[in-house]
Every structure is written in structure tokens, then in C-alpha cells.
């Protein structure tokens, strides 16, 4: 901890960012893929409906520009189709732009296109009974007929100079006539309509008649507000963590054309004073993103918004999750301090537990030692501690041996020889069998029963059988009594040798 080798900066932090990045990337891929699919379905539905109306009027779709009075009828007929599609799609708006104008005599007629643009002002709220819809572009009488309020920034027609996706989508469709409509949708990033405050992304699909005539576009909108509400990162590292959807160029992000989502956008708005972020990828750690005045920590990965074979499939998009560097480092310091405090608490608990356990396990030992100072070991109860009980047994035997020696020394050799029981013991030795005499002699030499069994290559049970017969023949009742006679025999031998 002190050296900084162990902290959250390495695997732990990267794993947290990777998990959240994968989660957000998967949500964006699914959401935008669904909008792309529904945009294509909307284009197919409008194609069938518009061709049917024009066929009834005996108007070729290629000549539609020459019938400006028909545009209003087409827009009115398709308004509810657009509203229904909008309410069934998680998007903030729907639009249809036809390649023509209701007023072809105006000076700007070449750049003015008729159509309908309906925006859902509360895209995060699903309410099919009373949706909060406004008409941003289109005839006011159509809005009135369909009970749609007029948006404060309403305009009659589209200026294709501000909707670059219109020109690009139609141009691409005309140069890729062999491709199906499902591969011709285009995502135009961060488009701002005139007189509106919101930035939007438009999924634009060409309207292609059955004879191949391209006569307009349609699609859905994803506003910056909808993006902010949909992809808020769930990372506890900082309240200032945010997600980006952007188009990377030469290892930099253009923030002016990116979508941002954060739990507290005000924290990030103050940080992002520059419009470009530069970065260098480090495979083993998080990425640092730099601007002229700020620094961020995070990760990003590429995301595909187009189908294979699309003319736009080479366009790069990236999803990123990042946090201001100062917040990240402050969180790491706080985390490390918490770990240090936790380790100190654990150390204190461990020390207290060691004192308690030592006292608990040493108490029987100390009590037994105190008793040994006051009474004989043979009178102390067993403690059920193997080592202590063995020690007590050994000391008890030592006491017996000491008492026996004292008793032997207190008697003269003559008195010992006159003891009838000892004489009988000596006489009974001759009644032992050869095997029993061998065991008897080894006992006299100081061997234990186990050692005798090993020395004679006999089982311990056989030795016990010999012991029983020896005890019976020698008229002794315990090993202690037997050992007493052995000592007396040795004492006699020593005295006789001295004499």
C-alpha cells in the first residue's frame, strides 16, 4: 500500500470499466440496430402506400415534382403512419422528406423539400394514450387534422443544406442500385436543425419506388436528450463518469459531434471546455484522454452501426466510458485508505483473538502446573490434554520409583532375604518356561513391552500373554510390584558383589 504497488489502478479498475463499456456498447448496438430495422420497415410501408396513391391518380412517381399540389395529400395520408411508427420505436422523432417542394417558384426551391418531422418531446416516457408529440416540419393543417401541436421552432419545409443526410443518402442509393434497401440506411451523426437547441442523430433510409426511382428519404431521430437518459454509466468510481458515442479520427474524439450521457451532466460540462480529446492506447491498463486543459481516464471500443455490405460499413464509430482523471485518482486514494484502515482493524482483531485463544488454551496448563506445586502428580485429575496427562503419568511413576528406592535403602540385605514373599518370588523364577524367562530377563534389563516385542520379533499380544503367565507364576499383581522385586534383586547382587 505504501509503495503504491497494490491499488485499484490495475486489473480491478480496468475490469470495472470493461464490464460497463461492454454493457453500454451492447445496449447501443441493440437500440440503434432496432431503429435501423424499423426505419427500413417504415420506408417499405411508405413506398407501398405512396405508390398506391399515385397509381390511383395516374401519376408516375418520377413526375411527382411536377405535381406540387399532390404533396399535401401524400403527407396527410402518411402522417398517422409516421405517428404510429414513432410510438412503436424508442426514438425521439420520425420524419419523411420528399424530393420536391410545394412552392417550386420560390428562389430557394432547389434546397427546400417538403415533408413531415414529428418529435416526441418526452422520448423516455412511453404513453400511447397521450404522447407528447410536436410537429417540427410540415403543413400546419396536417398537424391540426391529426391533433399534433406545432413545435415552437416549426418551419414549413426542410432546408437540405442543414439536413446533409438527405443528399448523402440519395446520392449513395443512386450509386448502389444493386443493393437492397436494408443495406442503404445511413446514420448521420449529431445533426442540428435550424432554430432548434437539440443535437440529433438521424437514421435515414431512401424511399425507392418499385421502378427504382428515388423520390425521398424517411427515418427516425435519436436526440441528445434521449441518449443522455438511456446510457448513463453505472460506475461507483465517480459521480462524474460519462459515456460517449463518437466517430474517432486519427486517435482523437471530436466532442462537438459526439453524444454524451452522464448521471450529473453539469459535472462533465464544466470539464469539457475543449472540443477534442487525444489518446494513446495502452493494452495493459486504462487509457488516458487528453485535451488542452483536461485529462480523463477510461476505455473505448469500436461499434458497428451498419450491416455487412453496406456502403457505409467502413465508417468508424466508438463507444467510450471515462471519468475525469482527478476524480479517478481521488477515488483510488479513498479506496486505498479504506483498505489500510480495514487491515488495521483486522490486525487489531487478530491480536485480540490471539490473546483470548492463548489464555483459553493455556489456562488448563497453568492451573495444572500450580496444582503440581501443591500436591502429588498422582492426585491431580486428568486434563484431557495428551501432553500434560503424559507428564503427570511420568511424574507419578517417578514418585513411585523414588519411594521404592527409599524403602529398599531403609532395609538391610538380611531383612530383605528374610522376607517370605521375596524368597517365594526368587523360588518361582525357576517355574518360568524358557520363553517366559527370556521375557522376564528383558524386563529386568529395563526393556518395555513394546521393545521386547520388537527384539523377539513377537506381537504385542504375545508379550501380553507372557506377562499374564509371569504375573501368575511369580505371584505379583502389577508391573510396579514386579519392578520392585527387580530392584531388590539388583540390590542384593550389588551388596553380595561388594562383600
Which band of pLDDT confidence, cut at 50, 70 and 90, is reported for residue 412? very low
CB atoms closer than 10 angstroms to residue 177: 10
> Is the pLDDT at 418 greater than 80, yes or no?
no
Cα-atom radius of gyration of the chain, to the nearest Å?
Answer: 50
> Is the pLDDT at 50 greater than 90, yes or no?
yes
> Is the pLDDT at 416 greater than 50, yes or no?
no
Please check whether residue 20 is in contact with residue 235, taking contact to mean a CB–CB distance below 8 angstroms: yes
Q: What's the mean pLDDT in 352-368?
A: 79
Please check whether residue 280 is in contact with residue 298, taking contact to mean a CB–CB distance below 8 angstroms: no
CA atoms of 224 and 359, how far apart (whole Å): 68
Which band of pLDDT confidence, cut at 50, 70 and 90, is reported for residue 414? very low
> Is the pLDDT at 487 greater than 50, yes or no?
yes
Q: Which residue has the higher pLDDT, 25 or 237?
A: 25
Q: What is the pLDDT of residue 403?
A: 65
CA atoms of 387 and 391, how far apart (whole Å): 6
Q: What is the pLDDT of residue 474?
A: 84
Residue closest to 372 by CA, chosen among 340, 341, 404, 394: 394
Tell me if residue 448 falls in helix, strand or coil.
coil
- By DSSP bridging, strand 317-324 and strand 295-303 are antiparallel
Q: What is the pLDDT of residue 38?
A: 96
Which band of pLDDT confidence, cut at 50, 70 and 90, is reported for residue 294? confident
Q: What's the mean pLDDT in 273-279?
A: 78
What's the burial of 55, exposed, middle or buried (CB within 10 Å: 0-12/13-18/19+)? Answer: exposed
pTM of this prediction? 0.66
Largest CA distance in the chain: 157
* All structural domains of the chain with their residue ranges: 11-17+231-329, 23-228, 411-498
Report the range of poorest mean pLDDT among 203-212, 340-349, 368-377: 368-377
Which band of pLDDT confidence, cut at 50, 70 and 90, is reported for residue 33? very high
353 Cβ neighbours under 8 A, 6+ residues apart: none
The percentage of residues in the chain with a pLDDT greater than 70, rounded to a whole number, is 86
> Is the pLDDT at 16 greater than 50, yes or no?
yes
Q: What is the DSSP secondary-structure string of 207-265?
A: EE-TTS-EEEEEEEEEEHHHHHHH-----TT-TT-EEEEE---SSEEEGGG-EEEESSH
Tell me if the domain spanning 411-498 has CATH number 1.10.10.10: yes
The size of the chain, in residues, is 499
Q: What is the DSSP secondary-structure string of 131-161?
A: --EEEEES-HHHHHHTT-PEEEEEESSEETT
Q: Which residue has the higher pLDDT, 164 or 135?
A: 135
Which band of pLDDT confidence, cut at 50, 70 and 90, is reported for residue 159? confident
CB atoms closer than 10 angstroms to residue 112: 20
Tell me if residue 305 falls in helix, strand or coil.
coil
Which band of pLDDT confidence, cut at 50, 70 and 90, is reported for residue 268? low
Q: Which three cell numbers stand for residue 125?
A: 416516457
Q: What is the DSSP secondary-structure string of 42-107?
A: HHHHHHHHHHHHHHHTT--GGGGGG-HHHHHHHHHHHHHHHHHHHHTSS-SEEEEEESS-S-TTST
Angle at 130 between CA 127 and CA 132, to 5 degrees: 85
Q: Which residue has the higher pLDDT, 95 or 193?
A: 95
> Is the pLDDT at 410 greater than 60, yes or no?
no
pLDDT tens profile 426-450: 888 888 888 888 988 888 888 888 8
CA atoms of 35 and 351, how far apart (whole Å): 62
Would you say the C-alpha torsion 70, 75, 81, 82 has a positive or negative sign? positive
Amino acid at each position: 500500500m505504501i509503495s503504491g504497488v497494490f491499488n485499484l489502478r490495475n486489473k480491478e479498475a480496468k475490469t470495472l470499466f470493461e464490464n460497463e463499456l461492454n454493457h453500454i456498447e451492447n445496449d447501443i448496438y441493440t437500440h440503434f440496430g432496432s431503429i435501423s430495422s424499423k426505419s427500413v420497415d417504415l420506408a417499405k410501408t411508405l413506398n407501398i402506400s405512396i405508390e398506391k396513391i399515385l397509381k390511383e391518380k395516374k401519376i408516375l412517381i418520377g413526375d411527382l415534382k411536377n405535381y406540387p399540389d399532390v404533396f399535401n395529400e401524400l403527407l396527410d395520408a402518411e402522417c398517422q403512419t409516421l405517428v404510429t411508427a414513432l410510438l412503436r420505436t424508442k426514438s425521439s422523432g420520425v420524419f419523411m422528406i420528399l424530393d420536391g417542394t410545394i412552392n417550386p417558384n420560390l428562389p430557394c426551391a432547389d434546397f427546400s423539400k417538403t415533408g413531415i418531422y414529428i418529435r416526441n418531446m418526452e422520448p423516455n416516457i412511453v404513453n400511447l394514450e397521450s404522447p407528447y408529440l410536436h410537429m417540427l416540419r410540415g403543413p400546419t393543417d396536417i398537424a391540426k387534422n391529426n391533433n399534433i401541436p406545432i413545435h415552437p421552432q416549426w418551419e414549413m419545409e426542410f432546408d437540405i443544406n442543414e439536413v446533409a443526410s438527405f443528399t448523402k443518402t440519395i446520392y449513395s442509393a443512386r450509386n448502389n442500385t444493386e443493393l437492397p434497401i436494408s443495406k442503404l440506411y445511413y446514420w448521420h451523426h449529431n445533426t442540428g436543425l435550424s432554430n432548434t437547441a437539440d443535437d440529433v442523430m438521424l437514421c435515414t433510409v431512401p424511399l425507392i419506388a418499385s421502378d427504382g426511382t428515388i423520390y425521398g428519404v424517411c427515418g427516425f431521430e435519436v436526440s441528445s436528450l434521449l441518449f443522455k437518459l438511456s446510457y448513463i454509466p453505472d460506475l461507483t468510481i465517480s459521480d462524474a463518469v460519462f459515456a460517449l458515442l463518437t466517430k474517432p479520427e486519427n486517435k482523437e474524439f471530436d466532442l462537438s459531434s459526439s453524444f454524451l450521457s452522464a448521471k450529473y451532466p453539469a459535472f462533465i460540462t464544466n470539464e469539457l471546455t475543449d472540443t477534442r480529446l487525444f489518446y494513446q492506447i495502452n493494452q495493459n491498463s486504462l487509457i488516458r484522454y487528453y485535451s488542452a486543459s483536461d485529462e480523463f481516464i477510461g476505455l473505448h471500443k469500436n461499434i458497428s452501426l451498419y450491416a455487412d455490405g453496406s456502403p457505409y460499413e467502413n465508417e468508424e464509430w466508438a463507444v467510450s466510458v471515462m471519468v475525469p482523471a482527478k476524480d479517478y485518482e481521488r477515488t483510488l486514494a479513498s479506496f486505498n485508505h479504506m483498505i489500510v484502515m480495514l487491515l488495521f482493524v483486522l490486525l487489531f482483531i487478530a491480536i485480540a483473538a490471539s490473546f483470548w485463544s492463548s489464555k483459553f488454551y493455556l489456562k488448563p496448563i497453568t492451573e495444572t502446573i500450580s496444582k503440581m506445586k501443591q500436591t502429588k502428580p498422582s492426585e491431580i485429575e486428568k486434563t484431557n490434554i495428551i501432553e500434560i496427562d503424559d507428564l503427570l503419568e511420568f511424574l507419578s511413576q517417578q514418585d513411585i520409583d523414588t519411594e521404592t528406592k527409599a524403602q529398599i535403602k531403609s532395609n538391610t540385605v538380611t531383612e530383605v532375604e528374610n522376607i517370605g514373599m521375596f524368597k517365594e518370588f526368587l523360588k518361582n523364577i525357576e517355574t518360568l518356561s524358557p520363553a517366559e524367562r527370556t521375557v522376564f530377563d528383558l524386563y529386568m534389563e529395563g526393556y518395555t513391552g513394546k521393545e521386547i516385542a520388537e527384539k523377539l520379533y513377537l506381537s504385542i499380544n504375545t508379550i501380553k500373554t507372557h506377562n499374564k503367565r509371569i504375573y501368575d507364576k511369580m505371584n505379583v499383581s502389577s508391573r510396579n510390584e514386579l519392578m520392585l522385586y527387580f530392584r531388590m534383586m539388583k540390590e542384593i547382587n550389588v551388596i553380595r558383589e561388594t562383600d
